Each structure stands twice: as C-alpha cells, then as structure tokens.
Amino acid sequence: MKAAQLEKYAKDFTLQVNEIPVPEIGANDVLVKVKTAAVNPVDSLIGTGSLKLIQNYKFPLTMGNELTGIIEKRGSKVTDIQLGEAVYTRLPVQKLERLQNM
C-alpha cells in the first residue's frame, strides 16, 4: 500500500509517497482503504519540527491522520461497522506512532 511519509524535519518539508506493507489488524481494529487524506496545521507543525520538543517522531513518519475511506477488513470483535462501509475518521495525534509502525 502507499503512504504519504515525512522523511525528515524541514522548514519547507515535503511528503514522499512510499510503498509500505499492509498492516495486520487486531480483534478490535478495522483496516480502511483510504480514499482521501488531509494535511492540516498540526501536520505542518510536525513537518517543520516545531513540535519535536514535545514529541520527537521517528522517520519515516506516515502523515494524514484525517481521512475518508472504505472498510476493507475488520477484526473479529468489531460488530458495529460493516465491510464496504464508507467512513470518516480523525486519528488522535498520539496514534501517529501506530501509523508510523505500519
């Protein structure tokens, strides 16, 4: 799968589109096939390194925690979301570490 990733902090940062493995999901997780993702002001602060004193991320860092997409897989304990369902989500900034490990 493809991911927009930050490879280093920079004043005029750029995101690289990299090929990464599809993550395994847990019993309480869903896998979303992303259709759109947004870069917001917090992403810009992360990209320029303005927040590295608060949270110093490892690179490459997958960006775009606001997204829309379609549920592609769901864990065994997920019962309230159907395969093929359209979703919008905003992942908490704290979850960027999880995105990073995909």
Looking at this protein, which amino acid is placed at residue 1?
M
Rg (CA), the chain: 14
Q: Domains plus CATH for the chain?
A: 2-100 (3.90.180.10)
Spatial distance between the Cα atoms of 89 and 102, rounded to a whole number of angstroms:
17
pLDDT in tens, 9-56: 999 999 999 999 998 999 999 999 999 999 888 889 999 999 888 888
pTM listed for this prediction: 0.78
Cβ–Cβ under 8 Å, residues 30 and 75: yes
DSSP string for residues in 77-100: T--SS-TT-EEEEE--GGGHHHHH
Asked if residue 43 lies in contact with residue 92, where contact means CB atoms within 8 angstroms, the answer is no
For the stretch 51-86, pLDDT in tens is: 888 888 889 998 888 999 999 999 999 999 999 999
